[in-house]
Each structure stands twice: as C-alpha cells, then as structure tokens.
Amino acid sequence: MTSDNSNHYPRPLIEQADLEAKIGELAAAVTRDYRDSERLVAIGVLKGSVFFLVDLLKRVDLAPLEVDFFQTSSYGAATEPGEVKILKDVDVSVRGADVLLIEDIVDTGYTLRTILDLLRFRKAKSVRLCTLLDKPSRRKVDVPIDYCGFQIEDLFVVGYGLDYNERFRNLPYIGVYEGEIR
C-alpha cells in the first residue's frame, strides 16, 4: 500500500472534449499560416509533447511536412538555474526551413529559450512556437508564444503526455496532480 496519492486519478482540469476542440482551432491556424511555406519542419520536445503533436499534426491540412524531435532535461538543483541539457538532437537540418516548435507546457521558459536560440543559430528561416499549455506566472525568461492552447495557474499538471515520474502520460485529459511531489 502506498500512503501518497500516486494511484489516484488526478483531478480533471481540462477535459478531453475541450482539448480536442482547442487542437482543432490550433490546427486550422497552423494550416492557414503555413499555406505558402516551401519547407515546414514540425519539431516536438520529448516526451511530453508527443500526444499533442500527433493529434495536432493529423489535423494540419498541408502538403507533406517533416517531423522531428528534441529531448531535453534540466541539470538539476546543483547547477545554475536555466541550464538545459540536450539529450537528443534533431536528425534533420533546419537551415532555411520554417520550423514549428511544439511543446506540452511552457513553465520557466528556459527549455524553449535554449531551443529557440539553437534553431536561430542554425539559420532556420523562421521559428514559431506552439504550446498546449502556458503557465505565465512561472516565467523566468521571455519566450514568444505564437499558438497557445490554454493558460493555466501555477499547478502541477499531468496527463495527455505530461508525467509525474513517468506516470500518467496516457490519461486522455489534463489533470492536477495532488500527491506529494518528490
């Protein structure tokens, strides 16, 4: 028996139907904005963005686009806040491409700041950011968000790709994790 709440279903914050409706709106906006793009590369940040990326891109009505992934992690408490480690780089060259960066949630902004700087350094033609969730009250560095699903308060959320210790990613909704965070 566990004494924490890790086996309880998280309290729903954003229901599946609301996610689907919002993703439809975002996909329509992306389709409209990239109609004239000569080369669009959609890049997700593993692992949290995967559910969102798949559902979004299936509804983007454009000529074939490329899909790739970064994986990042923070270095932990012993280092400078904001240092982000790239665990997996993209396989494709982004030089001259329109890049749509797809993220699950923007919190401090450090992860996306690092990736945006890298993509600019590699001479992407344009970079836009699409995030399902945004926690603006937690921001430490500015990141321009072009497409945003939902702004939320400073809560620890799980589900629809987001985890707590690798669990809960498979929930079809966004919920608030109310167990102890270790």
Residues of this chain that interact with ligand 5GP (CB under 6 A) are 45, 48, 103-111, 156-158, 162-164
Q: Among 101, 92, 99, 52, which residue's Cα sits nearest to residue 72?
A: 101
Backbone angles phi, psi at 31, to 5 degrees: -60, -45
The dihedral region occupied by 109, where left means phi > 0, alpha psi between -120 and 50, and beta the remainder, is: left
Q: Which is nearer to ligand 5GP, 97 or 111 (CB)?
A: 111
Residue 120 CB, shortest distance to ligand 5GP, in Å, is: 17
Instruction: Report the alpha-carbon distance of residue 152 to residue 166 in Å, rounded.
Output: 21
Q: Please give the Cα distance from 178 to 175 (Å, whole number).
A: 9
Minimum distance from CB of 128 to ligand 5GP (Å)?
17
Cβ nearer to ligand 5GP, comparing 111 with 171: 111
Q: Which of 61, 107, 134, 146 is catalytic?
A: 107
CB of 10 or CB of 97, closer to ligand 5GP: 10
Is 89 labeled as catalytic in the residue annotation? no
CB 119 within 8 A of CB 101: yes
Rounded to a whole number of angstroms, the minimum distance from the CB of residue 21 to ligand 5GP is 22
Catalytic residue annotation: 107
